[in-house]
Amino acid sequence: MRVDLHVHTNASDGQYTPSEVVALARAFDLIAITDHDTTDGVAEARAAAAHHGAPLILPGIEISTAEDRGDVHMLGYFVRVDDAGFQDALRGFREARFRRGQMMVEKLARLGVHLEWARVEQIAAGAVGRPHIARAMVEAGYVESVREAFDRYISNDGPAYVARKRLTPEESVDLIHRAGGVAVFAHPALAAGWRDLLKGLVAVGLDGVEVNHPSNDERTRLELRALAAQHSLIMTGGSDFHGPAVKPGNGLGCMAPPEGAVFALRERARRYGDPDV
């Protein structure tokens, strides 16, 4: 099977619409739509996949969380996109992201970087995130690339950064489970102190860990495989595709999950609900 379990659309911070992503993935058997704090891209992706006859669309989410050492992202697979409580929580996250985006644009203006908020919204075509602000900065000529925008202005320690209230990683595991989903620690190598964090998440019911990801080097992948075996975690993987304008090195399908990952996720999801893929 050709599978990618970590794919973003412009429902959050990806470059392409869900339909465009599906068109790019027509040679795949299955992709998971895992937008940040929203499942809004799933229905359009499924409609496009039905039109093309492929791929299967696994409903997913990537929840942005925080703890003392920094950002932590949690992937959820087989979530119930029609769960009212889940959608209420996600709506709150997106509203906080929207307010945060406005505040960052205001901080940039004080630094001499003047952006039109309406243009940022147009680029986002949905939930506003930092990559959309970065793309507006490139378009306006203040920086040459999205990476430069982050490095100079909007990274976590940048002069225009604005923090926002988020769930803890442990709370995100519970939220995903309550929505019928399987909780997977995303790209661990990007989280500070990830080894201790992983062990703590196991204690609250973590289901899996993203072993194959562009940010995990071979040494990290070997260590993650050992920890997954030790703690009975499902090993997953994916490209973290956003499109070349956002993450040029993360091509669709550049990282595949270990064999059997989709079956293992589906079986684990039966603990929390009735998976529909």
Domain spans of the chain?
Answer: 3-81+169-269, 91-154
Contact (Cβ atoms closer than 8 angstroms) between residue 213 and residue 238: yes
pLDDT of residue 46: 98
Name the CATH architecture for the domain at 91-154.
Orthogonal Bundle (1.10)
Tokens of residue 249, six digits: 């090195």
Q: What is the mean pLDDT of each run of 10 residues along the chain (277 residues)?
A: 96 93 97 95 98 97 81 95 95 86 96 96 79 93 95 94 86 97 96 92 97 96 97 98 92 96 97 83
pLDDT of residue 165: 72
pLDDT of residue 113: 97
The one-letter amino acid at 193 = G
Residue 187: C-alpha distances to residues 73, 172, 215 (Å): 8, 15, 7
CA angle 94, 14, 257 (to 5 degrees): 105
pLDDT of residue 156: 85
Cβ neighbors of 32 (< 8 A, separation 6 or more) are 4, 5, 6, 7, 57, 58, 59, 60, 77, 238
pLDDT of residue 127: 67
pLDDT of residue 31: 98
pLDDT of residue 94: 81
CATH 3.40.50.980, applies to 3-81+169-269 = no
Alpha-carbon gap, residue 220 to 189, rounded angstroms? 7
